Amino acid sequence: MFKSTVLGAIALSFISASTAQADLSADVAASLHLASDASAAPALNHQGQWWTHPKGCEYSRAGRGGETVWYLIINTARPGCPKYIVSYSPYNDVY
């Protein structure tokens, strides 16, 4: 009896945590497109994996071959930071 109660409580906490996280992501995403600061971007010759926006948001470098895209690390999001920054892309099909 005790074991099933504990397992049920653990399962419920996982469900609650994932729901809260999804709701937070949606709220952050909705606020980001309203006030983005496109003037702030990493230098074209920035070699690191990570970059910090002047407003404190952090980004991770990614992208297909031949392009550099910086994606927002969602738990560092603040109003005014774009969801992603395209430093260079020879492709016109995604952005």
pLDDT in tens, 32-73: 433 445 578 999 889 999 999 999 999 999 999 889 999 999
Cα–Cα distance measured from residue 89 to residue 25, given in angstroms and rounded to the nearest whole number:
26
Rg, Å, the chain Cα set: 18
The domain segmentation of the chain, as residue ranges, is 2-88
- 76 DSSP 8-state letter: G
Q: Could you report the per-residue pLDDT of 21-31, keeping only the tens digit for each?
A: 444 444 444 44
Q: What are phi and psi of 71, to 5 degrees?
A: -105, 135
Which tokens in the block code for residue 76?
């560092």
pTM: 0.57
